[in-house]
């Protein structure tokens, strides 16, 4: 997200972010908890991100068929967690996701 914002020309005067704070941005920002409820631009960005994620999940389903991405779209369903347990995390899984971290540490 930081790279995307820093590549904008002209640079924005203010960045609205849903929940997170972007470190090292150098541009004023508002981190809004439930930002999609309070800002139309944050809500639109959220919808766009979900549509893109759903399309990526279909690509990853073809590449990593054992995870069921075409069904759960990456949400932590019991099938998805079971697939990670069986196959281990795929390269597309976020390492910061708690379930992936726990499986890498052998905690689940």
Q: Where are the domains of the chain?
A: 53-108
CA distance 32 to 19: 5
Residue 103, CA atoms < 13 Å, CB-side half-sphere: 18
Residue range 11-27, pLDDT digits in tens: 999 999 988 889 989 99
Residue range 37-64, pLDDT digits in tens: 999 999 999 999 999 988 998 898 999 9
The pTM of this model reads: 0.66
**Average pLDDT of every residue of the chain:** 85
Contact 31, 21 (CB under 8 A): yes
Contact 9, 27 (CB under 8 A): no
C-alpha angle 92-61-107 in degrees, rounded to nearest 5:
50
């Amino acid at each position: 997200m930081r790279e995307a914002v820093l590549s904008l020309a002209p640079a924005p005067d203010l960045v609205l972010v849903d929940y997170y704070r972007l470190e090292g941005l150098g541009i004023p920002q508002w981190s809004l908890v439930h930002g999609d409820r309070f800002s139309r631009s944050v809500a639109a960005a959220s919808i766009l991100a979900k549509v893109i994620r759903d399309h990526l999940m279909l690509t990853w389903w073809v590449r990593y068929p054992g995870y069921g991405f075409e069904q759960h779209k990456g949400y932590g369903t019991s099938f998805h967690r079971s697939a990670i347990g069986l196959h281990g995390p795929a390269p597309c899984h976020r390492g910061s996701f708690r379930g992936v971290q726990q499986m890498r540490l052998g905690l689940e």
